[in-house]
Amino acid sequence: MKVAVFGTRRYDVDSLEKATPKGSGLEYTFIEALLDHTTVVLAKDHDAICLFVNDTCDKAILETLHELGVKYVALRCAGFNNVDLSAASKLNIHVVRVPAYSPEAVAEFAVGMIMTIVRKYHKAYNRVREGNFLLDGLVGINLNGKTVGLIGTGKIGLLTGRILAHGFRCKVIAYDPYPSKVADEYGVTYVNTLDDLLERSDIISLHCPLTESTKYIINDDSLSKMKRGVILINTSRGGLIDTYALIRALKSGHLKAVGLDVYEKESNYFFADSSAKVISDDTFARLLSFYNVFMTGHQAFLTEEALENISDTTIQNLLDLESKGTSENIVVHQ
């Protein structure tokens, strides 16, 4: 099976090659570019394409893929919001994903992001390297006893809750339309409504997927219901936050600080070196300019363990599709 792997970085190449069993028949073409309308032709002569979070796989691209003979789309991520599943299903292109590669990686990163913000590690690091050992401006807050609200209590949300409740003795509350039966064991208590969570939390962390119903779940209205001085963390998907509303809440001082590993238009910048380029997205540039916004480039998943799991599952998904025509990780259009 010939697989065109889009959006590849060195760590993807290393990990896929290491995980591929000898004699599997899988042959990769590693392509640095993301899949979009201009790069889709590179899928010619391949049976499958392999994508990550910022590739575009809309109806027109899927139609071209179909014409080029591509039968499978293997996502090396959990989210599938970038694939038009309805179009894929009509074209009989099977879509598979990696439902869980390391929820611990993301949960630990989210907690690290909270710690960075509340104790200002990032500012201290720069200051000390420049020989400035003053502590002015570095006053933090204790996490102990704070109320943390989790929006979404799937695999990542619950693990984040467990670290915060059991490790830091935070009061962890959560909202999820499909509550987990084991939340108690993780030290997580549900509130009845999202508004209740917004009103009570000192720190809010997003762990729900991006769907039509969660798009801009953080907007002017939900931000106004949060306590003044709240800290907001998003390691989930950029589209959960209306960035204009976020900027308004930052400018008014309503938000104490924000930690973002994702941004709604991140595909223009993330996973590439833009250090010698002018940022033309003014909204993104404004976000980066706030002293109290801490941003990383969709890095939460990136651990050795996660990369190994992503490669193992992706390879198994492709081999299953080829041998059985299906896979336990197939994504079905609802």
Write out the catalytic residue numbers.
237, 266, 298
**Closest by Cα among 49, 27, 20 to 316:** 20
Among 54, 301, 315, 331, interactor with ligand NAD by CB under 6 A: 301
Stretch of 63-71, 201-209, 309-317, 319-327 contacting ligand NAD, by CB under 6 A: 201-209
Q: How far apart are CA 191 and CA 189, in angstroms?
A: 7
Q: With binding defined as CB under 6 A, does residue 207 bind ligand NAD? A: yes
Q: Is 157 in the site for ligand NAD (CB under 6 A)?
A: yes
Q: Helices (DSSP H) in the chain: which residue ranges?
A: 10-19, 59-67, 85-90, 103-119, 121-129, 155-162, 168, 194-200, 220-225, 243-251, 282-289, 304-324
Residue from the set 82, 205, 236, 327 that interacts with ligand NAD by CB under 6 A: 236
Cα separation, 244 vs 240, in Å, equals 12
Instruction: Rank residues 5 and 218 by Cβ distance to ligand NAD and give the closer one.
Output: 218
Judged by CB under 6 A, the chain residues 15 through 44 that form the site for ligand NAD are none
Residue 297 interacts with ligand NAD (CB under 6 A)?
A: no
Decide: is 192 part of the binding site for ligand NAD (CB under 6 A): no
The amino acid at residue 294 is: F
Residues 104-143 that bind ligand NAD (CB under 6 A): 106
Q: Does 178 sit near ligand NAD (CB under 6 A)?
A: yes
**Cβ atoms 17, 314 nearer than 8 A:** no
CA–CA distance from 248 to each of 66, 240, 244, 255, 303 (Å)? 44, 16, 6, 9, 34
> How many residues of this chain interact with ligand NAD, rule: CB under 6 A?
30
Residues near ligand NAD (CB under 6 A): 78-79, 100, 103, 106, 151-157, 175-178, 207-210, 213-214, 235-237, 261-262, 298, 300-301
